[in-house]
Amino acid sequence: MPKLFPSLLIFILFIGVTSAQSIQLDGFITDSLQNPLVNTNVIATALQESNAQIKFSISSSKGEYRLKL
C-alpha cells in the first residue's frame, strides 16, 4: 500500500493538469471604414451552461482585444 500511494498521487496530478484547458481569443475591432474602435467591450457568454461565468475584455487605443476563456 505505501508504494501505491505516490503512484496514485502522480496519476491524479497528471489527470488534473492535462484536463485543464484555456483558450485565448484576440483580434482587432474596427468600424466599416477600418478605423479602430477604442474602449469597446467584447463579451463572451456560454451557449449551454446556465451557471458559467461571463468573460469580457475592453479594446485598446488600437482596437486590440484579448479574451482568456
Domain ranges of the chain: 23-69
DSSP 63: S
Cell of 47: 451557449
**Which segments of the chain does DSSP mark as H helices, in order?**
4-19
Q: How far apart are CA 21 and CA 19, in angstroms?
A: 6
pTM of the model: 0.60
Q: Provide φ and ψ at 17, rounded to 5°.
A: -70, -40
pLDDT one-digit tens code per residue, 14-58: 555 445 567 888 898 998 898 999 999 999 888 887 777 888 999
Q: How far apart are CA 55 and CA 16, in angstroms?
A: 23
Between 18 and 13, residue with greater pLDDT:
13
